[in-house]
Amino acid sequence: MKLLPQRRLTRKQRGSSALLIDPVIKEIRISGFRNTRKVTCPYCQSVLSVSLVPHMKKTHSKEWAQWTDAMLRLYNKTNDLKHVMREFSNNKGQLLFTWAVVDNEVKRKLETEGVAIQIRQKSGVTRWDPTADEYEKFKTTIWDVPRRGSWGVHQSSYRGNWAPQIPRAIIEYYSQAGDLILDPFVGGGTTLLEAWVLGRNAIGFDISQFALEVTGSRLRELDLRANKESLFGLPNVSVEVRNGDARILAGIQDSSVDLICTHPPYGNALQYSHGEPNDLSRVRDPGAFMDEIEKVGNRFFEVLRPGGFCAILIGDLRRDGRLHTFGFETVERFRRQGFLVEDIIIKTQNQDRSTEFWFKSDNLRLRLKHEYLLVFRKPLNGNAVRSVSPVTRLERKNHPSATKKTKSVEGQKAKSHPRRKPR
């Protein structure tokens, strides 16, 4: 099996076995809360409002570089953003910054400095399928997942990763063995892992270099565990991950995909790259974000076979005192592209890992605790009334992501599960 080689850390990047964090951090004085928060710089004693980070980057760049090196060393040891965040706290346990700062710096070093990110393998893998407590087939349009599944090589370290119960159910309900599954926002690779185990061919795209590193590592780990530990014979299918834009999907032929199973960003609620210009999670304006989602829907319609399904998990966003209803808008914009609505499923949000830096807001009446799993179907006759294509074929050809080198993790070609003919 041909796999993408894993990046190795240099001796300098690995550092010593013990993480060395500047001891002055423990003496930093912090007062107030949220908008009244004041932080005293440990190097020049300046008192900063809310955040120390911009001041450190501008005034103490050398010291900030040392801090970020420490962040990376600890992240490579733990893959735990919260753990790294807690290390950067004073003697009173007050946090200096959110885990989003750590996340951004790790991705910045990967994208701009070319440093190696070490994705830790899971210990104690003893089973490849969920237990009855972890996964019971859903019987209604309310999907509740109280606890994230932990079977196989699944881990929760990738921010915004959906619980494996969701793509497993989607794949089981809306596809058959040997089908081709496409995840254009592959993230941490959860969809590809479930597709492989369930005997589906799968292709994943992502524009984030960090996501490609994580997904490639997870697929290599699954293959290694299956062959070395002989716990499970993986189905003989093709699985690969590519660097690319969901609006372009370079190399995917029209009417070739049986099921699209994906979890796009919710605007810029979480940012999945440091500075990738074509990353939709960096689009701050909600209206502009939905315009890009409509382009995504247009391309989805083209690559999906007649009668094929498209399942998207998306949530709403509170921004600037408004609720932006991404779920409702996605339905309308995908309908414009010719999709039929097959199912609308409400997924409860039980694992909302809101940052403990800000704690909970007293000004918020109701916390969002649901997401929409929208299942669309491409008409069998292909004669749906469609709006004008938001992205022309010429634009796709000239788009930067169409010329990027594909990074793939390839499984063996399907033999035991041949592709079905279109229904």
Could you give the C-alpha distances from 415 to 222, 234, 258, 408, in angstroms and in order?
A: 20, 12, 17, 20
Q: What's the pLDDT band for 149 if we cut at 50, 70, 90?
A: confident
Q: Which residues have a Cβ under 8 Å from the Cβ of 306 and sit 6 or more positions away?
A: 255, 378, 379, 380, 381, 382, 422
The pLDDT value recorded for residue 384 is: 59
What DSSP string runs through 155-175?
-S-STTPPPTHHHHHHHHHH-
Residue 282 has pLDDT above 50, yes or no: yes
Instruction: Give CA–CA dist 229/29, Å, rounded.
Output: 51
Instruction: Give CA–CA dist 50/36, Å, rounded.
Output: 7
Instruction: Give CA–CA dist 71/107, Å, rounded.
Output: 11
**Looking at per-residue confidence, does 271 or 383 come out higher?**
271
The pLDDT value recorded for residue 127 is: 77
Instruction: Give CA–CA dist 66/273, Å, rounded.
Output: 22
| Per-residue pLDDT tens digits for 334-363 | 999 999 999 999 999 876 554 444 444 556
**How many Cα atoms are found within 13 Å in the side-chain-facing hemisphere of 7?**
18
Question: Exposed e or buried b for every residue in 115-136, given b needs 16+ CB within 10 A?
Answer: bbbbbeeeeebeebebeeebbe
Residue 95 forms beta bridges with which residues? 89
Residue 206 has pLDDT above 90, yes or no: yes
- Under a CB-based contact definition with an 8 Å cutoff, are residues 208 and 278 in contact? no
Average pLDDT over residues 209-225: 92
Residue 186 has pLDDT above 70, yes or no: yes
Residue 195 has pLDDT above 80, yes or no: yes
Tell me the CATH class for 142-402.
alpha beta
The pLDDT value recorded for residue 352 is: 57
> How far, in whole angstroms, is CA 223 from its chain's centroid?
21
The pLDDT value recorded for residue 161 is: 86
**Looking at per-residue confidence, does 392 or 323 come out higher?**
323
Residue 83 has pLDDT above 50, yes or no: yes
Residue 13 has pLDDT above 80, yes or no: no
Could you give the C-alpha distances from 35 to 32, 190, 221, 306, in angstroms and in order?
A: 8, 37, 44, 53
Task: With CA atoms as reference, report the closest residue to 407 among 255, 193, 158, 186.
Answer: 186
Average pLDDT over residues 255-265: 97
What residue type is assigned to position 250 of the chain?
A
The pLDDT value recorded for residue 385 is: 58
The pLDDT value recorded for residue 229 is: 59
Average pLDDT over residues 51-66: 95
Q: What's the pLDDT band for 182 if we cut at 50, 70, 90?
A: very high
pTM for the predicted model, two decimal places: 0.84
What DSSP string runs through 134-147?
T-----SSEE--SS
- Under a CB-based contact definition with an 8 Å cutoff, are residues 269 and 352 in contact? no
Question: Exposed e or buried b for every residue in 286-300, given b needs 16+ CB within 10 A?
Answer: beebbebbbbbbbbb
Residue 152 has pLDDT above 60, yes or no: yes
Average pLDDT over residues 9-17: 41
Average pLDDT over residues 143-167: 88
Instruction: Give CA–CA dist 40/47, Å, rounded.
Output: 4
Q: What's the pLDDT band for 14 if we cut at 50, 70, 90?
A: very low
The pLDDT value recorded for residue 21 is: 74
- Under a CB-based contact definition with an 8 Å cutoff, are residues 122 and 153 in contact? yes
Cα dihedral 382, 199, 207, 342 sign: positive
- Return the domain boundaries, the chain: 11-113, 142-402
Residue 412 has pLDDT above 80, yes or no: no
Share of the chain above pLDDT 90, in %: 62
**What DSSP character marks residue 421?**
P
The pLDDT value recorded for residue 171 is: 98
- Under a CB-based contact definition with an 8 Å cutoff, are residues 165 and 134 in contact? yes
What residue type is assigned to position 347 of the chain?
K
Residue 256 has pLDDT above 50, yes or no: yes
Q: Which residues have a Cβ under 8 Å from the Cβ of 140 and sit 6 or more positions away?
A: none
**Looking at per-residue confidence, does 319 or 238 come out higher?**
238
Q: What's the pLDDT band for 210 if we cut at 50, 70, 90?
A: very high
Residue 267 has pLDDT above 80, yes or no: yes
- Under a CB-based contact definition with an 8 Å cutoff, are residues 374 and 312 in contact? yes
Q: What's the pLDDT band for 399 if we cut at 50, 70, 90?
A: low
Residue indicated by tokens 């599954």: 181
Q: Which residues have a Cβ under 8 Å from the Cβ of 34 and sit 6 or more positions away?
A: 50, 358
The pLDDT value recorded for residue 72 is: 94
Share of the chain above pLDDT 70, in %: 81
The pLDDT value recorded for residue 350 is: 75
The pLDDT value recorded for residue 260 is: 98
Q: What's the pLDDT band for 397 if we cut at 50, 70, 90?
A: low
The pLDDT value recorded for residue 403 is: 45
The pLDDT value recorded for residue 50 is: 92
Instruction: Give CA–CA dist 78/21, Å, rounded.
Output: 15
- Under a CB-based contact definition with an 8 Å cutoff, are residues 180 and 194 in contact? no
Residue 312 has pLDDT above 60, yes or no: yes
